Amino acid sequence: MSIPTPEPAWQTAARELIGLGLREDLGSAGDVTTAALIPADQMAQVKIVARSAGVLCGLPVARMVFDELDPAVRFDERARDGDALAAGQVVAHLSGKLQSLLIGERTCLNFLTHLSGVATLTRRFVDAVAGTRAGIYDTRKTLPGWRALEKLAVAAGGGKNHRMGLYDMVLIKDNHLAGWREGGGTKIAGAVRAARERSPQGLPIEVEVDTLEQLADALEGQPDIVLLDNMTVDDLRRAVAVRDERAPGVKLEASGGVTLASVARIAQTGVERISAGALTHSPPALDLAFDWET
């Protein structure tokens, strides 16, 4: 007897969000405009077109919208997630009942424009640090319910995923340190050692610092990663030198106020990771639209 393979987290999230999106649009009365004007048997064709250049993400989710709404709609993909799009490029061709296409249009485009916006902004950050050893990472600054999808979009743009939640990485932040009351050695290194002893085996351990003195303390505990919060470029460069001398196996992550204007300078300091909440909390939507065919 074979055991079914669990579907990926992004598919589970997409199914839940698609159902929510369609219920929001249709309410208890349905699409009253379409019902009043469009015969039930009228057929139509439509192209999904990129109105501006960017990186595509969310096309399988767009297909799922119509699988849920009307499985008879034919959805032919003309591009793939992660593709760089030119303005005017067709990413999919749909055909089926006009009522179904009209009802699903906005929900479909809401997924595509937002996720492609995340992927597009991520690609811009990734391109800005090309030639350095720094990877671009996302954060937990995601819309509730959208995390798996937004992190999928970051990956489509060439970025890397940080922890998914509070359960898959130990990340000791300043508020944890403020509340940790045990003694034993220096405070930050002691917290790292305690976390390593008490957390599930194999989870990576990261600790946040905001000064070079705290960095030296943290390195004594040999975490996997040290997050350098809101440090200047000069201090980041010094932090890399300190790490290289004292604990070369520990990775450094720069975070806090990272922008497209600053990310290249940050990457040139030698850190291995740069995390930016902007990838998911404030990407502009990529302009994609339905172009109707006669």
> CA torsion sign, 158 to 60 to 139 to 163?
negative
Stretch(es) of the chain classified as CATH 3.90.1170.20: 9-126+283-293
Q: With beta carbons less than 8 A apart as the criterion, state whether 284 and 121 touch.
A: yes
Which helix (H) or strand (E) covers residue 274, if one does?
strand 273-275
CATH of domain 132-281: 3.20.20.70
**Residue 94 CA: distances (Å) to CA of 72, 73, 76, 77, 98:** 11, 7, 6, 9, 10
Q: With beta carbons less than 8 A apart as the criterion, state whether 96 and 71 touch.
A: no
CATH of domain 9-126+283-293: 3.90.1170.20
HEC states along 140-152? CCCCCCCHHHHHH
Q: Write the pLDDT tens digit of every residue in 36-95.
A: 999 999 999 999 999 999 999 999 999 999 999 999 999 999 999 999 999 999 999 999
pLDDT at 183 over 70: no
Tokens 């055991």 found at = 3
pLDDT of 182 reads 74
CA distance linking residue 74 with residue 97, whole number of Å: 10
Q: Write the pLDDT tens digit of every residue in 118-166.
A: 999 999 999 999 999 999 999 999 999 999 999 999 999 999 999 999 9
pLDDT at 184 over 60: no
Stretch(es) of the chain classified as CATH 3.20.20.70: 132-281
pLDDT at 1 over 60: no
Instruction: Return the active site residues.
Output: 106, 141, 173, 208, 229
- State the pTM of this model: 0.95
